[in-house]
């Protein structure tokens, strides 16, 4: 059997000190084996809607080791593919006591990496990063890359995706150029992850992921009105079920440790299959997806990991919403309680990954809080209709548009930073994407730890220049006091935190890196640039860097400006 037996992957997913999970998609029902350090681990595939997947758990590994590996399907070697010329993939286990280093970003479209694709969508920062790592000139590999939403665009499809859709159905009928079913999602993920350089990177660099709206559809769960409008569309039910089911397979499953995965109801069906043939969990997975959409409290997409003295919490800020008028919340009660339980001190750094920036530029935050208030009836029925239209037109559905949820999480962050939930960390850092520009903000505080927001967006999907001007306008100048005045006019309570921009915004396609260093929390952003017309091999260039130093004893905290 040739490498055609391997459709996609391998992808290095969950990795800790002694275990690693390798994800693959294969052409047929298969036995998949991973070989590393003279050992072999094997798993059978499971089926979903005619596609075949395996997640191979490597256990009993040595901490802090870097070991090349290979993949076999039914006894034939399928990876690495020597014709691509990349180094062998490796399993890099975590080293106890080693400070965390991770990369992160969001919003990445899947278009060709030629001159045309780079002209319309810019250089793929992830691919430029992969080529830099291949060169061997940077030996400090991240321990993890965290993708904070919009890994795929189900509603804004590329020409290549549209060609596939046209081969299956009449694109003039709804949902048109948008995705319809699981088969189309599977092809979209293939387009996103099959470029040789990115595929090599993902075969070696462990990854964690969370969705945002475009993984399903723009403004997903923005409001009750939005949801009711979608539910009236005859194609929507199939779309949301396929979107969540494919997300479970391609993204969510690899986020989980073997222990957490063992509690997952669909994985229990896969793990409990001991009969002949391949388990097909299409029905169980569709049922889970349908129930998770209808009853968000029934399933959790968020996850939490501790890396020595650093905790990383990755929060679902899309599917876990409660959109009922009297209980409107960005996180429902169950999800909020889960987050509350994990927002604790006792770590050197507390990192909170949420696809939507928790701290938008304050002008935007006030605008969204005002729009939420009038959309929910603060100025009457006519204004509510206008507010809803504004909300959907301008994507006013971030944390600021769920004012009660924002203030609850702001209180949690403040309690952690003040040492009321255990020893105060050096920083409480929110890591986000979504807005298609990057920046760093810091909360203005008179005491306690530093609370920051560090955004990296997009990896590859730049804003049009007109919208860049709007983003900059909302970040500086009169936007903040005017937005605050509008919010007060709708009787919106004070957000409980006040913050200002430390650096930014900038609008490049970029990938951010974070490192726990003796001097503090180091952050930097890198972009790909084409030199001498070589679109196939972009260079990596630093865009910005910030170091959040720990506050010295007796040093005053950042005061309101």
- Give the SS3 label for residue 111: coil
Q: Are residues 322 and 469 in the same domain?
A: yes
Which of these three, 92, 115, 146, is where a domain ends?
A: 92
pLDDT at 135: 83
Q: List the structure tokens of 166.
A: 């046209």
Question: CB–CB of 367/387 below 8 Å?
Answer: no
Largest Cα span, the chain? 70
Bridge partners for 22 per DSSP: 12, 56
Q: Is residue 207 part of a domain?
A: yes
Q: Is residue 286 part of a domain?
A: no
Q: pTM of the full predicted structure?
A: 0.95
CA atoms of 363 and 480, how far apart (whole Å) = 4
* Tally of domains in the chain: 2
pLDDT at 253: 98
Q: List the structure tokens of 178.
A: 């948008």
Quick one: pLDDT band at residue 489, thresholds 50, 70, 90? confident
Q: Are residues 214 and 299 in the same domain?
A: yes
Decide if pLDDT at 11 tops 90. yes
Bridge partners for 73 per DSSP: 32, 76
Q: What is the pLDDT of residues 381-420, one digit of tens each?
A: 999 999 999 999 989 999 999 999 999 999 999 999 999 9
Please compute the mean of the pLDDT values over residues 56-66 and round it to a whole number: 97
Q: Is residue 418 part of a domain?
A: yes
Please compute the mean of the pLDDT values over residues 261-273 and round it to a whole number: 96
Asked whether the bond before 64 is cis by omega within 30 degrees of 0, the reply is no
Q: Is residue 415 part of a domain?
A: yes
Question: CB–CB of 476/136 below 8 Å?
Answer: no
DSSP state of 62: P
Q: Are residues 52 and 118 in the same domain?
A: no
- Supply the range of the domain harboring residue 72: 1-92
Q: Are residues 52 and 108 in the same domain?
A: no
R_g (Cα) of the chain, nearest Å = 23
Decide if pLDDT at 363 tops 90. no
Q: Are residues 461 and 376 in the same domain?
A: yes
Q: Is residue 275 part of a domain?
A: no
Quick one: pLDDT band at residue 469, thresholds 50, 70, 90? low
Q: Which helix (H) or strand (E) holds 43?
A: strand 39-44
Please compute the mean of the pLDDT values over residues 167-172 and round it to a whole number: 96
Q: Is residue 274 part of a domain?
A: no
Q: Are residues 35 and 156 in the same domain?
A: no
Closest by CA position to 190, among listed 144, 159, 152? 152
Q: Are residues 426 and 449 in the same domain?
A: yes
pLDDT at 196: 95
Quick one: pLDDT band at residue 138, thresholds 50, 70, 90? low
Q: Are residues 128 and 175 in the same domain?
A: yes
Q: Is residue 263 part of a domain?
A: no
Q: Which residue, chain included where needed, has tokens 């997300």?
A: 247
pLDDT at 275: 80
**Beta-sheet pairing, 499-506 with 349-354:** unpaired
Q: Which helix (H) or strand (E) holds 34?
A: strand 31-36
DSSP state of 87: P
Q: Are residues 133 and 172 in the same domain?
A: yes
Quick one: pLDDT band at residue 4, thresholds 50, 70, 90? confident
Q: What is the pLDDT of residues 82-127, one digit of tens each?
A: 777 899 999 999 999 999 999 999 999 999 999 999 999 999 999 9
Q: Are residues 204 and 141 in the same domain?
A: yes
Quick one: pLDDT band at residue 559, thresholds 50, 70, 90? very low
Which of these three, 65, 92, 119, is where a domain ends?
A: 92
Decide if pLDDT at 2 tops 50. no
Decide if pLDDT at 560 tops 90. no
- Measured CA to CA in angstroms, residue 359 lies from 170, 409, 440, 443, 449 at distances of 43, 11, 9, 9, 16
Q: List the structure tokens of 42.
A: 């094997």
Please compute the mean of the pLDDT values over residues 311-332 and round it to a whole number: 96
CA atoms of 200 and 335, how far apart (whole Å) = 35
Q: Are residues 188 and 45 in the same domain?
A: no
Check which CATH number belongs to the domain holding 60 and give it.
Answer: 2.60.40.380
pLDDT at 111: 93
CA atoms of 238 and 240, how far apart (whole Å) = 6
Q: Is residue 559 part of a domain?
A: no
Quick one: pLDDT band at residue 145, thresholds 50, 70, 90? very high
Asked whether the bond before 286 is cis by omega within 30 degrees of 0, the reply is no
Quick one: pLDDT band at residue 490, thresholds 50, 70, 90? confident
Which of these three, 30, 60, 92, is where a domain ends?
A: 92
Question: CB–CB of 90/67 below 8 Å?
Answer: yes
DSSP state of 108: B
Check which CATH number belongs to the domain holding 500 and give it.
Answer: 3.60.21.70
CA atoms of 55 and 281, how far apart (whole Å) = 14
Work out the angle at residue 326's Cα, subtended by the Cα atoms of residues 413 and 221, and round it to the nearest 5 degrees. Answer: 70
Q: Are residues 540 and 401 in the same domain?
A: yes
């Amino acid at each position: 059997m040739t490498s055609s037996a391997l459709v996609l992957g391998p992808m290095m997913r969950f990795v800790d000190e002694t275990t690693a999970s390798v994800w693959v998609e294969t052409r047929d029902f298969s036995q998949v084996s991973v070989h590393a350090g003279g050992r072999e681990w094997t798993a059978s595939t499971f089926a979903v809607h005619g596609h075949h997947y395996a997640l191979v758990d490597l256990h009993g590994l040595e901490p802090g080791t870097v070991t090349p590996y290979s993949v076999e399907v039914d006894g034939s070697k399928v990876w690495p593919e020597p014709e691509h010329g990349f180094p062998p993939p490796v399993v890099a286990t975590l080293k106890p006591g080693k400070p965390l280093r991770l990369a992160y970003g969001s919003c990445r479209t899947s278009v060709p990496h030629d001159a045309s694709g780079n002209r319309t969508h810019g250089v793929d920062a992830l691919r430029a990063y992969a080529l830099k790592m291949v060169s061997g000139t940077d030996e400090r590999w991240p321990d993890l890359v965290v993708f904070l939403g919009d890994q795929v665009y189900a509603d804004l499809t590329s020409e290549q995706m549209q060609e596939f859709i046209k081969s299956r159905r009449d694109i003039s009928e709804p949902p048109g150029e948008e995705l319809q079913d699981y088969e189309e999602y599977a092809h979209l993920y293939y387009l996103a992850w099959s470029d040789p350089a990115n595929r090599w990177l993902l075969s070696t660099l462990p990854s964690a992921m969370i969705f945002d709206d475009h993984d399903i559809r723009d403004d997903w769960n923005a409001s009750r009105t939005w949801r009711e409008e979608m539910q009236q569309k005859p194609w929507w039910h199939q779309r949301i079920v396929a979107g969540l089911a494919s997300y479970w397979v391609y993204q969510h499953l690899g986020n989980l440790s073997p222990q957490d995965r063992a509690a997952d109801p669909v994985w229990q069906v896969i793990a409990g299959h001991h009969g002949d043939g391949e388990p097909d969990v299409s029905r169980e997975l569709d049922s889970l997806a349908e129930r998770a959409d209808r009853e968000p409290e029934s399933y959790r997409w968020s996850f939490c990991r501790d890396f020595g003295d650093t905790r990383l919490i990755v929060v679902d800020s899309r599917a876990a919403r409660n959109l009922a008028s009297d209980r409107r919340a960005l996180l429902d009660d169950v999800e909020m309680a889960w987050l509350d339980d994990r927002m604790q001190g006792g770590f050197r750094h507390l990192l909170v990954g949420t696809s939507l920036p928790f701290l938008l530029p304050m002008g935007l935050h006030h605008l969204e809080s005002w729009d939420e208030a009038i959309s929910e009836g603060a100025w009457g029925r006519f204004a509510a209709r206008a507010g809803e239209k504004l909300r959907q037109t301008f994507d006013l559905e971030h944390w600021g548009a769920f004012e009660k949820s924002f203030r609850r999480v702001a209180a949690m962050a403040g309690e952690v930073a003040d040492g009321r939930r255990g020893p105060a960390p050096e920083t409480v850092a929110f890591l986000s994407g979504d807005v298609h520009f990057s920046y760093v903000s810091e909360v203005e505080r008179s005491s306690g730890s530093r609370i920051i927001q560090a955004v990296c967006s997009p990896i590859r999907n730049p804003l049009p220049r007109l919208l860049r001007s709007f983003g900059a306008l909302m970040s500086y100048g009169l936007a903040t006091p005017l937005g605050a005045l509008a919010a007060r006019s709708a009787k919106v309570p004070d957000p409980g935190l006040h913050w200002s921009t430390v650096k930014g915004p900038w609008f490049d396609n970029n990938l951010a890196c974070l490192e726990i260093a003796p001097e503090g929390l180091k952050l930097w952003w890198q972009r790909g640039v084409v030199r001498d017309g070589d679109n196939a091999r972009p260079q990596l260039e630093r865009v910005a860097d910030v170091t959040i130093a720990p506050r010295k004893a007796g040093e005053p905290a950042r005061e309101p400006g």
